[in-house]
């Protein structure tokens, strides 16, 4: 079975586990994601489940794409029926299929973080809220936090006037979203969770459908996500969770490492598998990572080892300034590419905050080195793209007031602020959307507003029957946006971007199999979604980083957060300064995790540094600057404590190490089994091409054994009377048994 080749014994055991819940708790680069994808492929290949019976959830769009890609290279199947995606993506899929039961309009739109903030600002205006006293952003946090605890306004306890006000605003916000047919990110989850709770038939349908649920990066799930998984999996639920407590980096968004322990209790998990061999990084990188993370308290505790050689030492550079740091990096990148044969995409530049990328980008640009930035201002968040999307959304759902407000007078069509205020008042009074409100308007201001409504309705008429890309093209043209930007001196880039949006629609349609206006999908639930609607969801949910520069060989820039789960041959971790990394907000602080438990903020930063270091496969460079320009001022920082927590013997100082930071005093304990070699044969079930004895049970079959209980057939070995079968008995372990003696029964 080529799927199982190259797995070590623990990985093999994990991949082939019987249908029982399991927690794979393992360090960076130990093959957790590999095991998870191999398990999906194995379950399907051996007929234990069809593609439609699998649900796998990961943290980012990039990771879920990668997962689908890996599965489709292992198995020639259509991956569309499989539910693989992010929590948001999967919840969206469910709500699209059951919009009515979920109490949503069919073409509900998704608000991204930016949209959510502007929706709240708009609401504050209508309600006359003092934004000094109640900053809109605080309401965003309040609402997200409440939703992530599964709390609706009526469930939130408020003990003081401020909180009572927040709850009232939360309530008003909900009413506004409902009226406009829009949902924010946390609403996707909560809605889907409540849908499953309220609708027994639906719940049972999904519970029996998803025989296998698999979760990557489990350590970063929040309370609501955990309960969603629990509800979806049901009483007979089987969840295969993989994670690493040392890589939990989202406590600030409510992630809850304690979900691991709770999962083990709730699901009575008997299978806890550890993977300790690292296949990603050279020895020095791993040693540095182990050493660093040992400074955290309360770890579940694990040590990684590798068979790979030590590799190059970590190169540490102290720059005079951020400019100097960038120059050093450019110099090294050139060496890596020109002298050491790496390609640009082998190289990643990591930083703590997006604001740090500007100087690096400038330097790369000046050196004419192609690069690509993940995160930052995403393609779909650019103003001109937002405008175009607003028109498209109005075609789909005219009650979307956010979109209406954005473009009713953009490009300008002589609609005054006064008219819009009147319209707003009327709509509020009547409890209807702005679009509908226009119909009730009278007098002079009504005329120009009505023209806008007619424009939208005309567009809707004109795009009927068009393919997705043509439709987007047509709407951009008819909106007057192109014409508007042609007059603008800096409009050229914006027009380029609008054209890129048409391309994005075309490649989305191709990737999703949409031709003309017919969705080419098999499952009923998907037929309900129009390509436009699907594309708009994609625009809200997708990081959008694939629009430009895709496929080009480019140096990769991203925050350490965004790098989670990824790997690169050469990694630069930049800005290792106190106040930058660890972030200034973390020092001396703790924060609240999803369950209100206190999380030491510097420990969280240390885990983030651990994530950053463990992305490197071969070469790791770490740099810091004595001064840097940040948010418009020059700031002086000390070297990060994390640098001093790395073991001296793996470091090569490219600049003299200065003694200005008190050494925290590390010890080398724990590195004792360094380089030890567990040595495994890795070829569990190979047999030659000779005439073979018939195998009584196909691979993947469930069998029962008097002593070991039930298990799953994994492999065969030997011939004739010597025929042996390998069975994974879950908690009883992996066994080789003589077929002639074992008295197996098929289950
Ligand atoms: P992270 O914690 O960073 O998400 P991970 O545990 O998910 O890491 P993977 O990304 O699955 O690790 O694997 C790391 C690398 O090691 C990948 O390149 C993977 O292909 C490789 N790898 C994993 N297991 C093996 C194996 N048994 N033999 C060879 N290579 C392996
Ligand atoms: Mg992974």
Query: Which pLDDT does position 597 carry in this prediction?
Result: 65
Residue 376 three-state SS: coil
728 Cβ closer than 6 Å to some ligand 1 atom? no
Rounded distance, CA 726 to CA 683, Å?
Answer: 12
Residue nearest to ligand 1 atom 18, measured at CA? 280
Phi, psi of 184 (to 5 degrees): -90, 180
Distance of CA 458 to the CA centre of its chain: 38
322 catalytic? Reply is no
Query: Which pLDDT does position 315 carry in this prediction?
Result: 97
Tokens representing 78 are 């259509």
Task: From 737, 731, 746, select the one nearest 14 (Cα to Cα).
Answer: 731
Q: Is 184 exposed, middle or buried (0-12, 13-18, 19+ CB in 10 A)?
A: buried
Distance (Å) from CA 319 to ligand 1 centroid: 33
Catalytic residue among 191, 406, 494, 615: 615
Length of the chain: 747
Distance (Å) from CA 31 to ligand 2 centroid: 7
6 Cβ closer than 6 Å to some ligand 1 atom? yes
Rounded distance, CA 22 to CA 272, Å?
Answer: 6
Which ligand ends up closest to the CA of 70? 1
Distance (Å) from CA 464 to ligand 2 centroid: 43
- The residues of the chain scoring below 70 in pLDDT are 1, 375-378, 514-529, 543-551, 591-597, 659-692
Q: CB–CB of 725/694 below 8 Å?
A: no
Query: Which pLDDT does position 251 carry in this prediction?
Result: 84
Residue nearest to ligand 1 atom 15, measured at CA? 280
684 Cβ closer than 6 Å to some ligand 1 atom? no
Residue nearest to ligand 1 atom 11, measured at CA? 31
Max CA separation in the chain (angstroms): 95
Catalytic residue among 11, 116, 247, 626: 247
Domains, in order of start, for the chain:
2-99+190-275 (3.40.50.300), 110-180 (1.10.10.160), 280-378+548-657 (3.40.50.300), 382-519 (1.10.486.10), 661-747 (no CATH)
Q: What H or E segment, with its residue span, contains residue 174? A: helix 161-180
Query: Which pLDDT does position 62 carry in this prediction?
Result: 79
Distance (Å) from CA 344 to ligand 1 centroid: 22
Phi, psi of 476 (to 5 degrees): -60, -45
Residue nearest to ligand 1 atom 31, measured at CA? 279
86 Cβ closer than 6 Å to some ligand 1 atom? no
Q: CB–CB of 332/621 below 8 Å?
A: yes
Rounded distance, CA 685 to CA 727, Å?
Answer: 11
Which ligand ends up closest to the CA of 614? 1
Distance (Å) from CA 278 to ligand 2 centroid: 12
Q: Which residues contact 507 (CB under 8 A, 6 or more apart)?
A: none
247 catalytic? Reply is yes
Query: Which pLDDT does position 678 carry in this prediction?
Result: 29
28 Cβ closer than 6 Å to some ligand 1 atom? yes
Query: Which pLDDT does position 587 carry in this prediction?
Result: 81
64 Cβ closer than 6 Å to some ligand 1 atom? no
66 Cβ closer than 6 Å to some ligand 1 atom? no
Query: Measured from the CA of 36, which atom of ligand 1 is nearest?
Result: 11
Distance (Å) from CA 374 to ligand 2 centroid: 18
Residue nearest to ligand 1 atom 9, measured at CA? 31
Tokens representing 327 are 């120059």
Tokens representing 334 are 């050139």
Tokens representing 208 are 């029996």
Distance (Å) from CA 36 to ligand 2 centroid: 9
Query: Which pLDDT does position 625 carry in this prediction?
Result: 95
Q: What H or E segment, with its residue span, contains residue 39? A: helix 32-45
277 Cβ closer than 6 Å to some ligand 1 atom? no
Catalytic residue among 216, 244, 534, 618: 216
Q: Which of 8, 27, 33 to mutate to test the pocket of ligand 1 (most atoms within 8 A of CB)?
A: 33
Rounded distance, CA 141 to CA 224, Å?
Answer: 15
32 Cβ closer than 6 Å to some ligand 1 atom? yes
Distance (Å) from CA 16 to ligand 1 centroid: 17
708 Cβ closer than 6 Å to some ligand 1 atom? no
Distance (Å) from CA 64 to ligand 1 centroid: 16
Distance of CA 95 to the CA centre of its chain: 19
Q: CB–CB of 569/617 below 8 Å?
A: yes
Rounded distance, CA 644 to CA 663, Å?
Answer: 6
32 catalytic? Reply is yes
11 catalytic? Reply is no
Rounded distance, CA 692 to CA 623, Å?
Answer: 59
Rounded distance, CA 482 to CA 605, Å?
Answer: 45
Which ligand ends up closest to the CA of 566? 1
30 Cβ closer than 6 Å to some ligand 1 atom? yes
Quick one: how many helices (H) and strands (E) in the chain?
27, 25
Catalytic residue among 10, 115, 148, 217: 217
Distance (Å) from CA 243 to ligand 1 centroid: 13
332 catalytic? Reply is no
31 Cβ closer than 6 Å to some ligand 1 atom? yes
122 catalytic? Reply is no
Q: CB–CB of 517/509 below 8 Å?
A: no
244 Cβ closer than 6 Å to some ligand 1 atom? yes
Which ligand ends up closest to the CA of 275? 1
Q: Which of 5, 15, 29 to mutate to test the pocket of ligand 1 (most atoms within 8 A of CB)?
A: 29
Catalytic residue among 32, 96, 147, 256: 32
Q: What is the pLDDT of residues 454-509, one digit of tens each?
A: 999 999 999 988 889 999 999 999 999 999 998 877 788 788 889 888 888 888 88
Distance (Å) from CA 63 to ligand 2 centroid: 8
Query: Which pLDDT does position 596 carry in this prediction?
Result: 61
Query: Which pLDDT does position 160 carry in this prediction?
Result: 92
Distance (Å) from CA 29 to ligand 1 centroid: 5
Query: Measured from the CA of 11, which atom of ligand 1 is nearest?
Result: 27
Q: What H or E segment, with its residue span, contains residue 572? A: strand 568-573
Q: Which of 244, 276, 279 to mutate to test the pocket of ligand 1 (most atoms within 8 A of CB)?
A: 279
Q: Which of 9, 35, 280, 560 to mutate to test the pocket of ligand 1 (most atoms within 8 A of CB)?
A: 280
Which ligand ends up closest to the CA of 611? 1
Catalytic residue among 16, 33, 109, 221: 33
Query: Which pLDDT does position 674 carry in this prediction?
Result: 26
């Amino acid at each position: 079975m080529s799927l199982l080749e190259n797995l070590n014994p623990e990985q093999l055991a994990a991949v082939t586990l019987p249908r029982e819940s399991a927690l794979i708790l393992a360090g960076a680069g130990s093959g957790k994601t590999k095991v998870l994808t191999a398990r999906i492929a194995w379950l399907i290949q051996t007929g234990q489940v069809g593609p439609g019976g699998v649900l796998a959830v990961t943290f980012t769009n990039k990771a879920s794409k990668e997962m689908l890609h890996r599965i489709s290279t292992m198995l020639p199947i259509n991956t569309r029926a499989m539910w693989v995606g992010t929590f948001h993506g999967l919840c969206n899929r469910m709500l699209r299929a059951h919009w009515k039961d979920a109490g949503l309009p069919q073409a509900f739109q998704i608000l991204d973080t930016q949209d959510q903030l502007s929706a709240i600002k708009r609401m504050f205006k209508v309600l006359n809220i003092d934004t000094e006293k109640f900053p809109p952003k605080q309401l965003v946090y309040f609402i997200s936090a409440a939703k992530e605890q599964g709390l609706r306004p009526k469930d939130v306890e408020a003990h003081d006037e401020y909180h009572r006000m927040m709850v009232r605003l939360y309530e008003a916000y909900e009413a506004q979203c409902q009226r406009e047919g829009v949902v924010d990110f946390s609403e996707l989850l909560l809605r889907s969770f409540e849908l499953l709770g309220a609708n027994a038939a639906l719940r049972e349908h999904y519970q029996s459908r998803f025989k296998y649920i698999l979760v990557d990066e489990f350590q970063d799930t929040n309370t609501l996500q955990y309960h969603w998984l629990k509800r979806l999996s049901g009483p007979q639920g089987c969840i295969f969770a993989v994670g690493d407590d040392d890589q939990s980096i989202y406590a600030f968004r409510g992630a809850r490492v304690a979900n691991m322990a709770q999962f083990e209790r709730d699901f009575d998990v008997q299978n806890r598998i550890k993977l300790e061999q690292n296949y990603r990084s050279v020895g020095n990188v791993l040693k540095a990572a182990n050493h660093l993370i040992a400074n955290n308290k309360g770890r579940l505790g694990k040590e990684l080892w590798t068979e790979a050689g030590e590799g190059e030492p970590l190169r540490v550079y102290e720059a005079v300034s951020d400019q100097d740091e960038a120059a050093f990096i450019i110099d090294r990148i050139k060496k890596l590419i020109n002298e050491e044969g790496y390609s640009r995409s082998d190289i990643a530049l990591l930083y703590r905050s997006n604001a740090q990328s500007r100087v690096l980008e400038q330097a790369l640009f000046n050196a004419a080195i192609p690069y690509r930035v993940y995160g930052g201002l995403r393609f779909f968040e650019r103003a001109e793209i937002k405008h175009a999307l607003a028109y498209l959304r109005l075609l789909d759902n005219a009650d979307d007031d956010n979109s209406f407000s954005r473009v009713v007078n953009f490009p300008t069509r002589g609609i005054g602020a006064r008219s819009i205020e009147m319209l707003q008042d009327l709509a509020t009074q009547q409890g209807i959307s702005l679009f509908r409100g226009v119909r009730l308007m009278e007098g002079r201001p009504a005329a120009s507003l009505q023209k806008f409504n007619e424009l939208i309705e005309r567009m809707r008429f004109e795009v009927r029957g068009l393919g997705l890309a043509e439709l987007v093209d047509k709407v951009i043209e008819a909106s007057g946006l192109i014409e508007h930007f042609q007059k603008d001196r800096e409009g050229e880039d914006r027009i380029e971007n609008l054209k890129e949006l048409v391309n994005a629609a075309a490649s989305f349609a191709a990737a999703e199999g949409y031709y003309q206006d017919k969705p080419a999908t098999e499952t009923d639930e998907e037929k309900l979604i129009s390509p436009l609607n699907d594309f708009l969801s994609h625009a809200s949910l997708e990081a959008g980083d694939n629009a430009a520069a895709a496929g080009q060989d480019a140096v990769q820039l991203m925050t350490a957060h965004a790098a989670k789960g990824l790997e690169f041959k050469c990694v630069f971790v930049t800005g290792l300064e106190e106040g930058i990394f660890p972030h200034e907000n973390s020092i001396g602080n703790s924060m609240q995790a999803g369950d209100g438990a206190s999380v030491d903020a510097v420990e969280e930063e240390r885990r983030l540094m651990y994530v950053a270091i463990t992305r490197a496969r071969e070469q790791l460079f770490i740099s810091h600057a004595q001064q840097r320009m940040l948010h418009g001022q020059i700031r002086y920082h000390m070297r990060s404590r994390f640098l001093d927590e790395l073991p001296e013997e793996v470091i090569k100082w490219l600049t003299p190490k200065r003694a200005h930071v008190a050494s925290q005093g590390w010890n080398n304990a724990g590195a004792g089994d360094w380089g030890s070699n567990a040595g495994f044969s890795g070829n569990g079930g190979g047999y030659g091409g000779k005439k073979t004895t018939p195998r009584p049970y196909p691979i993947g079959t469930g069998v029962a054994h008097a002593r070991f209980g039930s298990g799953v057939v994994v492999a065969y070995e030997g011939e004739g009377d010597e025929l042996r079968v390998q069975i994974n008995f879950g908690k009883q372990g992996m066994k080789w048994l003589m077929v002639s003696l074992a008295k197996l029964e098929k289950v």
